[in-house]
Chains A and B, each alone.
Chain A
Amino acid sequence: MKSMQLNRWAILPAFMILGACSKDPKNNTSAPDKDKLVVVTSISNGTSQVSYVGTMKDLSVGVYNNNKARPSSFTPFIYTHNDDVFVVPNRGADILKKYTRAGNGVLAESGSLTMPAASQPTGIAFESDTSAYCTLYNTGVIVKFNPTTMAQTGTIDVKTFAVSGSTPNPGNIVYQDGRLFVAVTQTVNGYTSVNPAQVLIVDLKQGNKITSTTDARTTWAGTIDAPRSLFFDEQGDLYVNCVASYGFVPGQESGILRIRKGASTFDPGYFFPISKATIKGLSAQVNYFHHLCYGGNGQAYASGNIPSLVSNPPNYVTDRSYGIFKLDLAAKTITKMDIPNTNGYSGYIVPFENKILFSVSSATGVGIYTFDPATNTSSNGPVVTTLGDPSVVEVFK
């Protein structure tokens, strides 16, 4: 009975596993001698669940193994800043770790910050080289810290915005022009919410004054395991992927909301509905986008769950129900891409050197697939094969 409960609890980290699209619409480039990509692979065998965080030079490596990778709690969230990799432990640990790329696939330990017990650190936003913010999902606090020294320098308490329970569940967080945008999910069970999508805006220049904006057209702002769920386009407008309780609550509609640059409320004129959308190249529907990543020029890329591909009852090792999609944010169109479906532990998306990278765990290949927007072509198979499900592929910014 006890184990049953703990097992149920243990599922929740899976929510946070996957993730990712670009917060920076520009192509990422890195110093030529340094590894350019961060890779997280996750291996579970039922009795152990371990992820491995490492770096690789670029896509030319062909095969990526975990030999030099750092073992981590299962499916951590990854943030990069300068040469540093910040490993957010998900539910499996309390310590935020910092590594620095040392070249040739090596990550050197360069600091850590112990968060409150079971606080579930989730998102990080960097204000500068000496100031960053980390949301604590379970305690309703945003920790301010120095990413260089990894010293805590303050906190921002958002508990008063909790609709029920004691925390509004701050998750994804992004920074723009002295303001933090914090997606709060307002859940009490960890996987559903009955409240409107909500973003808190913290004005750092006005003494951390917090304003809140909600939008009842959808639910659950952000995807806690997908750091790129909130992104800015070239105009500085903020787009927010809302997963609508991951499809668990009938009637809720997932979609994308927008906050215009400089505004403090959702744009009432914009909503990109997902769960009822007709998708080109797919006869079925998607109930939410797990990862959503901006690729530039109004184009976004996503991995989303296709419920009709889930076995009944689900087969958790053979079901690959997450499809890969291309979106036109202005025209609100979705097109199924020619990349294999993946399981839920992969599907991370990131722009890299004029290409879009997709982490995929499919029946035909496991690794990093690419899409070239210039030629509108996808790779036939993984350009880099990984050992273990690639839950994150990130770039150094």
Chain B
Amino acid sequence: MKQKWRCLLMALCWPVMAVAQEKQHTREQPRDTTGSPRKLREVNITGNNRTKSEAAALKKSVVPVTILSGKEIENRASNLNEMLARQAGVQIRQTGGLGSEARISIRGLEGKRVQIFIEGNPLNTPDGSLSINDIPLQLIERIEIYKGTVPAWLGGDGLGGAVNIVIKHRDISYLDASVTRESNHTTILSLLGKKTFERAGMELGAGLFYTATENDYTMESPYQPGLRIKRDHDAYQSLMAGTSLRFHKLWFDEIELEGVYLRNDKQIQGIQRNIQQAKNSADSRILALNARKEGLWHGRLDVRYSLILGSFTTHLTDTSSWMYNWDGSRYPSILGKGEIGTGPNLSSNRQQELRHRLNLNYKLATAWSLNLNNTIRKAGFNPDDSLGNAYAGKNMYNYPGDLFNSVTGLALEGAVLEGKLLMSASLKHYYYQVSGYNTNIYVIGEPDKVSNVQQDVGYNLGIRYNFTPALLVKASYEKALRMPQPTELFGDGALITPAITLHPELAHNVTAGIFYDGKLSDQRRLQLESNVFYMDVSNLIQLAGNGLSLGYVNYQQARIKGVDAEVKYDISRDFYVSGNATWQRLTDAMRYLPGSNHVANPTYQLQLPNIPSFFTNWSVEYHHDGWPFSHSRTRVIYEGSYVHQYDYGFAVSSYENLRIPGYHTHNLAWEQSFRRNRYTITAEVHNLADAIVINNYNNPLPGRTWRLRFRYLLFGKNQ
């Protein structure tokens, strides 16, 4: 047994041990005058040149995109959602602390309407199994935030907003370990390492990431005046372990096999009712094969391929015989058993997936290329809740479903006028097929098996023109679609009925922007960007009811218009300031009530509720190298944010008691690195003034939080 554990330990720590060996070697290298090892490859510390050139090309592409560099965030004691929320046009709608539901909103469209990609592969996992926040910052090379138009080579659906996370690929051995302690009893551990075998052309990497938090902050009850509640059933734990094996001397330029395991456990915090037992959990297992080959067919064809197998199992445990008052006293559950819903649940919903992505890029001429991208997703859903069924006295939950979808995009891009004018056009074909059971509560007996097949075509056009190397303008148009998700199609077996006949959501998006990136002097660089946008969205899928049950329907239409602006300015060698502001207005575009051609919709042309219309972020950064020692680096960052108040309901009443108050928040961060980033200490305080922050009605967020992070980063020698 001991031997077994020793083997397991060695396997887990192998990258650490291997890099530790590199450390020994490194120490033996001759040192330069500053005492640092000469052989350290600084150029690779934050990613390779290939990814940097990709990022630069993206900024100059036709699509409106904000790029957040991993270098800016890798040492922060923040999470990805917090970093995203500071970008122009982006909001994160949260219901609580770390691990709580958080929806990314881009230009007012949020949740499922914003597609999340990891390395170009759609995330699309069941709710609660894997979120964007599970990705550690030090893993990220860059984050691409697409607003208005999503390039065809990203093979998913969405209504014009997308976030693509590009993972960092260092080509040397390294060890990266960090520990973070935060308020609300939060601990985040990270261990990441890679060993390269240059002669064999092989790299072996592994990572282990653990997050645990109690989220035990105090909130004012939105329901009971004067009641302050210390959240005591909001704990969250996440464990992610992954390993990868990568070859770069085979026929492929790169071929990589990755395996990831993720486990989440999340208690459910009550807001109106004190919930003490109900909780969610999820297990995810992912196996991925990624391959890249460039220069085929006379050097003109590049191929990328991904194959992903995933198994996602989500659990809801709600079997308590008791319910609880806020004073801690308890009483027998009014449901007989269970604290939420309509009775007890002990569910295990398994989703198995096969995904593939093929991307072919063909260089037609020096400045012209044709790109074909195809993604396929085949998923099977197997819900099981025998306890819930037994309690309901019938099969309410155990109805499987299947989904198959394919998105194929073909894009032509080329430049003329010596590269000053870049043009792009693409077509996307969407196909999806679903089958499941019509578990409509009005149906007596066994439900019918039903299926639905739909397909549609989207497209986009874009141009970019460089007046000078520093000044360019962009404009693009896209017809975008979002396919219905399984949760919308299949319902919950109880009061949310299936809606197999749902149609895709549709958007017509127009964006135009101006971008300046110029050096005013050796030390002063100015970046300015501003975009105006207009979106016409229809067939929006929303939850509706008839007074007795609920289901998803294609319903709302909306018009979105707005403008965002961003400035980044390196004032001097040591000072950097930035700021952005977004104004957006989403209005109801449905003239008549559904099913009627003359009964006026009372909210026609009114601003859609529960969506912020104005928000702004700003920051000031001081950075300095060489203090207090040589090869040290200091960063002191102040960040501020403001979200203007907005209404939870349509503005049809002169009274405003359903207003979500605006808020200012201020953060302060100090990063201190030593020995060329080998040791970094980060201290941060968020929401300095302890402002009350609510960005989802009746869901108070944490107030002031303190964070302290220590990171150890060691690079091996160049082999």
B548 in complex: contacting residue of A1, A118, A246, A312, CB < 8 Å: A246
In the complex, are the beta carbons of B652 and A315 less than 8 A apart? no
B654–A67 touching, CB < 8 Å? yes
Closest to A320 in B: B595
Known: A50-B609, A312-B438. A45 touches B542 (CB 8 A): yes
Answer whether residue B295 sits at the interface, using C-beta atoms and an 8 A cutoff. no
Chain B binding site: helix, strand, loop or mixed by DSSP? loop
Selected from B315, B341, B553, the residue in CB contact (under 8 A) with A317 is B553
A67 to B562, CA, bound (A): 27
Chain B residue at minimal CB-CB distance from A288: B548
- Annotate B424-454 by CB proximity to A: 1 below 8 A, 0 otherwise: 0000000000000010111110000000000
Proximity bits, B649-665, A CB within 8 Å = 1, else 0: 11011111110000000
Say if the beta carbon of B501 comes within 8 Å of chain A: yes
Query: What's the least CB distance linking B238 to chain A, in Å?
Result: 15
Q: Which of B556-598 contact A (CB under 8 A)?
A: 556, 588, 593-596, 598
Most buried by A among B336, B341, B499: B341
Q: Chain B contacts of A68 at CB under 8 A? A: 653-654
One of B5-13, B358-366, B456-464, B489-497 contacting the partner:
B489-497
- How far is B598's CA from A43's CA once the two chains are assembled, in angstroms? 18
Chain A, 322-356, CB within 8 A of any chain B CB: 322, 343-345
Q: When the two chains form their complex, are residues A117 and B314 in contact, meaning their CB atoms are under 8 A apart?
A: no
Contact B101 A314, beta carbon cutoff 8 Å:
no
The CA-CA distance from A14 to B548 in the complex, in Å, is: 6
Binds A, one of B208-216, B325-333, B520-528: B325-333
Contact A4 B487 (CB under 8 A): yes
Instruction: Tell me how far the C-beta of A222 lies from the nearest C-beta in chain B, rounded to whole angstroms.
Output: 16
Among B225, B546, B588, B658, chain A packs the most CB atoms within 10 A around the CB of B546
Report yes or no: B273 in contact with A118, Cβ–Cβ below 8 A. yes
Task: Kindly state the separation between the CA atoms of A317 and B547 in the bound complex, as whole angstroms.
Answer: 11
Residues of A150-189 whose CB lies within 8 A of B: 164-167, 169, 188-189
CA distance A226 to B331 in the complex (A): 28
B229: nearest residue on chain A (CB-CB)? A117
A187 to B159 CA separation, bound complex (whole angstroms): 42
Q: A310-B442, A315-B553 are in contact. Are A5 and B335 (CB under 8 A)?
A: no
B69 beta carbon closer than 8 Å to chain A: no
Tell me the smallest distance from the CB of A77 to a CB of chain B, in Å.
Answer: 14
B306 at interface by CB-CB < 8 Å: no
Residues of chain A contacted by B127 (CB below 8 angstroms): 1-4
Contact A314 B442 (CB under 8 A): yes
Indicate whether B274 reaches chain A with its CB closer than 8 angstroms. yes
B342 near A190: Cβ-Cβ < 8 Å:
yes
Query: Mostly helix, strand, loop or mixed at chain A's interface?
Result: loop
* Cα distance A347–B128 in the bound complex, in angstroms: 39
- Check A11 against B653 for contact (C-beta < 8 Å): no
**CB closest chain-A residue, reference B487:** A4
Q: Which chain B positions have C-beta within 8 A of A95?
A: 223, 225
Residues of A within 8 A of B276 (CB): none
Q: Which of A7, A44, A114 contacts B496 (CB 8 A)?
A: A7
Determine, out of B150-158, B195-203, B343-351, the stretch whose residues face the partner at the interface. B343-351
- Neighbouring A residues of B266 by C-beta, 8 Å: 2
Q: Does A145 contact B (CB under 8 A)?
A: no
- CA of A313 to CA of B552, assembled, Å: 10
Complexed CA–CA distance, A344 and B128 (Å): 33
CB proximity of B493 to chain A, nearest CB, Å: 9
- Interchain CA distance A48-B545 in the complex, whole Å: 13
The distance from the CB of A308 to the nearest CB of chain B, in whole angstroms, is 10
- Tell me how far the C-beta of B599 lies from the nearest C-beta in chain A, rounded to whole angstroms: 6
Q: How far is the CA of A139 from the CA of B492 in the complex (A)?
A: 27
Cα distance A140–B494 in the bound complex, in angstroms: 25
Of A114, A118, A189, A312, the residue contacting B442 (CB under 8 A) is A312
List the B side residues contacting A9 at CB < 8 Å. 340-342
CB-based contact A46/B556 at 8 Å: yes
**Neighbouring A residues of B272 by C-beta, 8 Å:** 94, 117-118
Bound form: Cα–Cα A352–B519 in Å: 76
Is A26 an interface residue, CB under 8 A from the partner? no
Q: How many residues of B contact A (CB 8 A)?
A: 91
- A4 to B492, Cβ gap below 8 A? yes
Nearest chain B residue, comparing its CB with the CB of A305: B548
Q: Which of A126-134, A196-204, A359-367 contacts B (4 or more CB under 8 A)?
A: A359-367
CB pair A1 B314 closer than 8 Å:
yes
In angstroms, Cα B340 to Cα A7, docked, is 10
Contacting residues, chain B, for A290 (C-beta < 8 A) = 547
Q: Given known contacts A71-B655, A318-B594, A387-B602, is B547 in contact with A17 (CB within 8 Å)? A: yes
Contact A11 B549 (CB under 8 A): yes
Give the interface residue-count category, chain A.
35 or more
At the interface, yes or no: A239 with Cβ under 8 Å from chain B? no
Contact of B556 among A45, A117, A246 (CB under 8 A): A45
In the assembled complex, the CB of A307 is this many whole angstroms from the nearest CB of chain B, namely 6
Check B602–A388 contact: CB distance below 8 A: yes
Q: How far is the CA of A365 from the CA of B347 in the complex (A)?
A: 44
Minimal Cβ-Cβ distance residue in A for B658: A71
Whether B128 lies near A366 (C-beta < 8 A) is no
On whether the beta carbons of B551 and A313 are closer than 8 Å, the reply is yes
Contact B599 A364 (CB under 8 A): yes
Contacts of A2 on B, CB cut-off 8 Å?
A: 101, 127-128, 266, 268, 280, 316
Flag A1-42 by CB within 8 Å of B: 1 or 0 each: 111111111111011011000000000000000000000010
B500 lies within 8 A of chain A by Cβ: yes
Partner of A50, one of B227, B543, B549, B650: B650
A243 to chain B, nearest CB (A): 10
- Set of chain A residues within 8 Å of B400, measured between Cβ atoms: none
Quick check: B499 and A166 within 8 Å, CB to CB?
Answer: no
Q: Min CB distance, A204 to chain B, in Å?
A: 26
Say yes or no for A302: interface residue by CB 8 A criterion: no
Residues 98-130 of chain A: 1 if any B CB is under 8 Å from the residue's CB, otherwise 0?
000000000000000010111000000000000
Bound-state Cα–Cα, A335 to B104, Å = 52
Q: How far is the CA of A94 from the CA of B649 in the complex (A)?
A: 19
Q: Mark A52-66, 1 if CB is under 8 A from B, else 0.
A: 100000000000011
Tell me if A166 and B333 are in contact (CB < 8 A): yes
Q: Which residues of B contact A193 (CB under 8 A)?
A: none
3 closest cross-chain pairs (CB), A and B? A344-B547, A46-B542, A50-B649
Residue contacts A-B, CB under 8 angstroms, 11 given: A2-B280, A5-B345, A9-B340, A70-B657, A191-B342, A314-B442, A316-B545, A317-B553, A345-B546, A363-B596, A386-B602
User: What is B's interface to A at a CB cutoff of 8 Å?
Assistant: 101, 126-128, 221, 223-225, 227, 266, 268, 272-274, 280, 282, 314-316, 318, 323, 325-326, 331-336, 340-343, 345, 347, 349, 392, 438, 440-444, 487, 492, 494-501, 540, 542-551, 553, 555-556, 588, 593-596, 598-599, 602-603, 608-611, 648-650, 652-658, 697
